[in-house]
Amino acid sequence: MSAAKKVRQARQVRQQTLRARHAPGLQNWVLLVVFSLAGLGFFPHLTMVILVGMMPSLVGYALARGLGRGQRAYTLAAFNLAGVLPYVFDMLWGVRQGASAALVLSDVYAWFVMYAAAALGAMVNWTAPAAAAFFIAQRNRDQARALRRVRQSLIDEWGAEVAGADAKPTPAAAAAPAPAP
């Protein structure tokens, strides 16, 4: 990794760490309430279904803390929405077109789909760091291997002294005449 990239990465971690210390901003909630009220005013049934169906995301967003909380909340919301969308489309264009919220919400399977999707999102949030850790560790191992090769070539070129007393040159380099004392 280039030095510039490392610096950028470190900066991002710092910024995210700082941001993570604070609770989510109030303005987002205000926006949500405004849009909810507007929706309830114009599309009451649709809005009710969305609000109820996206409840896990709202809770997840309210409780999210730590590094990457925004993205985690997004992940949960995206999966949740993926579960809600079929019923929204149904109410708009499908078999339940014009149906009331009570009709949709009385279907237990609808609850299952919407909340299972949210659960899937939560699972992705839970497993993603472990997967990232695995890939990062793999990348580190590759980098370490390359760096060790470079280090050895420097020792072969300049002698063990360049790396300290316990460094050893490779057998090929050791066979070449060493510098005179």
Contact footprint for another protein (CB under 8 A): 9, 12-13, 16-17, 66-72, 74-79, 81-83, 85-86, 89, 94, 121, 124-125, 128-133, 135-137, 140-141, 143-144, 147-148, 150-151, 154-159, 161-163, 173, 176-177, 179-181
> Cβ closer to another protein: 33 or 149?
149
What residue type is 166 in one-letter code?
D
Residue 172, both tokens: 């090929």
Smallest separation (angstroms) from another protein to the CB of 58: 16
Q: How far is the CB of 150 from another protein (least distance, A)?
A: 6
CB closer to another protein, 30 vs 59: 59
Is the dihedral angle over the CA atoms 143, 149, 153, 158 positive or is it negative? positive
| Least separation in angstroms between CB 23 and another protein | 18
Element of type H or E holding 39? helix 26-42
CB atoms near residue 156 (< 10 Å)? 18
158 in Cβ contact with 96 (< 8 Å): no
